[in-house]
């Protein structure tokens, strides 16, 4: 037995139909509905779901909402969000459309006046909605792959996200009728051990080493009963229709098909989803971010942008991406911290892991000066008072292309910000 481990880096993702992601989608759908009515709405809504075999399934909504105007129909929003993901049949885990077979319980009050007194105000007086530590990260691992260029994102996380988004697309389109909403992916990347030994500690990814896929399926998938033939059929289908489409060929060079693990326990038949695993908002925060590494603060979904858990994490990603795009580092992690009710951050620190062209301290000062870190400033710069959050609930909040409809504004690169970061180098 070898006493030397192969250098492997791994990240995971989950589909929109994973029970925890289902909850994130419901919470963000409610947030979007509130912001549509009142862009100044204060929202913090959590969701719990559980499917049942005999008794009705349950969707539980709890939290705080303060807004001008009548609030949305929370129950209707929750049912529509779950149904749009594919939970429209009790046999697969939940029928969100059925009032008889799915009950929605709502426990939503208004925001505490003791919190609102610190977060309401103008650009200078609007404080953070809570204390916390947030992280942003960017790197160059995706930049030598045409399909991923411009992402500035960890490659293992980028590929695992692509796999689950592919699963979501197939399931929603009905292209493969036996595929169900619940699923997961995991990608392990073999690293270049020689370059790690001789280099500066960068990951140096080489190729995909292992792919793990979980996909809920009909009991008679492919017209086959449960058994070896069905499992081989599902694995072959996942390889041809999911993996080969989602992972660029460059990363599959050297990949051994035996290292594709599909439904590792054997099978994953109906009922799945919230029947087999209760869901809860905010339990997939690493999936939401970078697939591994540091994550401070709290979850994102169901929170309006006055909560720095969300807005500062987005701003930190935006800033880190600009640092890497500006050529100031190959990797950049930004830590920023806040105290409730205070507008300016308590601290900000950049770490380039030895890849920076200037000192981390100098870079930290530039980041602090070029980007606005006040809650009101972050909200204005990224235009965060819009109903853009349901799109973030599954598939990852980072490393995705901004859309024409204004989703993922923290992924946009602005040449003036790059120039501002670089110009300080000349002073």
pLDDT above 80: residue 177 = yes
Buried b (16+ CB within 10 A) or exposed e, 163-182: bbbbbbebbeeeebebbbbb
Check: CATH 3.30.300.10 for 19-119? yes
Do 19-119 and 8-16+155-280 fall under one CATH topology? yes
Handedness of CA 12, 13, 19, 23 (dihedral sign): positive
CA distance 16 to 172: 10
pLDDT above 50: residue 426 = no
| Greatest mean pLDDT among 156-170, 287-301, 341-355 | 156-170
Buried b (16+ CB within 10 A) or exposed e, 69-90: eebbebeebbbbbbbebbbebb
Tell me the two tokens of residue 160.
């695992």
The whole-model pTM stands at 0.94
Q: What is the pLDDT of residue 16?
A: 98
Helix (H, G, I), strand (E, B) or coil at 225: coil
CATH of domain 8-16+155-280: 3.30.300.10
pLDDT above 80: residue 71 = yes
CA distance 324 to 328: 6
Tell me the two tokens of residue 278.
């209760």
- The domain spans of the chain are 8-16+155-280, 19-119, 132-137+283-426
Tens-digit pLDDT profile for residues 316-356: 999 999 999 999 999 999 999 999 888 899 999 999 999 99
CATH of domain 132-137+283-426: 3.30.300.10
């Amino acid at each position: 037995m070898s006493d030397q481990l192969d250098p492997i880096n791994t990240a995971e993702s989950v589909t929109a139909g994973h029970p925890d992601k289902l909850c994130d989608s419901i919470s963000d759908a409610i947030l979007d509905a509130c912001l549509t009515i009142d862009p100044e709405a204060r929202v913090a809504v959590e969701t719990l779901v559980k499917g049942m075999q005999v008794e009705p399934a349950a969707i539980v909504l709890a939290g705080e909402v303060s807004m001008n105007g009548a609030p949305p129909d929370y129950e209707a929003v929750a049912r529509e969000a779950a149904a749009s993901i594919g939970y429209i049949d009790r046999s697969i885990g939940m029928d969100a459309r059925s009032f008889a077979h799915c009950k929605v319980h709502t426990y939503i009050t208004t925001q505490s006046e003791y919190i609102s007194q610190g977060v309401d105000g103008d650009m200078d007086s609007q404080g953070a909605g809570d204390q916390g530590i947030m992280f942003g990260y960017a790197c160059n691992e995706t930049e030598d792959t045409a399909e991923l260029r411009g992402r500035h994102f960890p490659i293992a996380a980028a590929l695992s996200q692509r796999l689950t988004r592919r699963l979501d697309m197939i399931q929603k389109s009905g292209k493969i009728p036996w595929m169900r909403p619940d699923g997961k992916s995991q990608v392990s990347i073999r690293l270049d051990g020689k370059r790690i030994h001789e280099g500066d500690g960068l990951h140096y990814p080489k190729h995909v080493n292992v792919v793990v896929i979980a996909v809920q399926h009909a009991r008679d998938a492919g017209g086959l009963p449960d058994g070896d033939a069905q499992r081989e059929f599902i694995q072959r289908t996942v390889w041809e229709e999911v993996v080969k489409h989602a992972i660029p060929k460059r990363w599959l060079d050297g990949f051994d098909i035996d290292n594709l693990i599909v439904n590792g326990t054997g099978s994953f038949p109906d009922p799945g989803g919230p029947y087999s695993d209760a869901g809860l908002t905010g339990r997939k925060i690493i999936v939401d971010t970078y697939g591994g590494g540091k994550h401070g603060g709290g979850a994102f979904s169901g929170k309006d942008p006055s909560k720095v858990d969300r807005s500062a994490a987005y701003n930190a990603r935006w800033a880190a991406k600009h640092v890497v795009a500006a050529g100031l580092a190959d990797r950049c992690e930004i830590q920023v911290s806040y105290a409730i009710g205070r507008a300016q951050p308590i601290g900000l620190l950049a770490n380039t892991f030895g890849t920076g062209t200037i000192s981390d301290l100098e870079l930290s000062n530039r980041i602090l000066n070029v980007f606005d870190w006040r809650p009101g400033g972050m909200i204005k710069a990224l235009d965060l008072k819009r109903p853009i959050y349901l799109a973030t609930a599954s598939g990852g909040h980072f490393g995705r292309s901004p859309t024409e409809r204004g989703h993922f504004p923290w992924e946009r690169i602005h040449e003036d910000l790059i120039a501002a970061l670089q110009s300080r180098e000349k002073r």
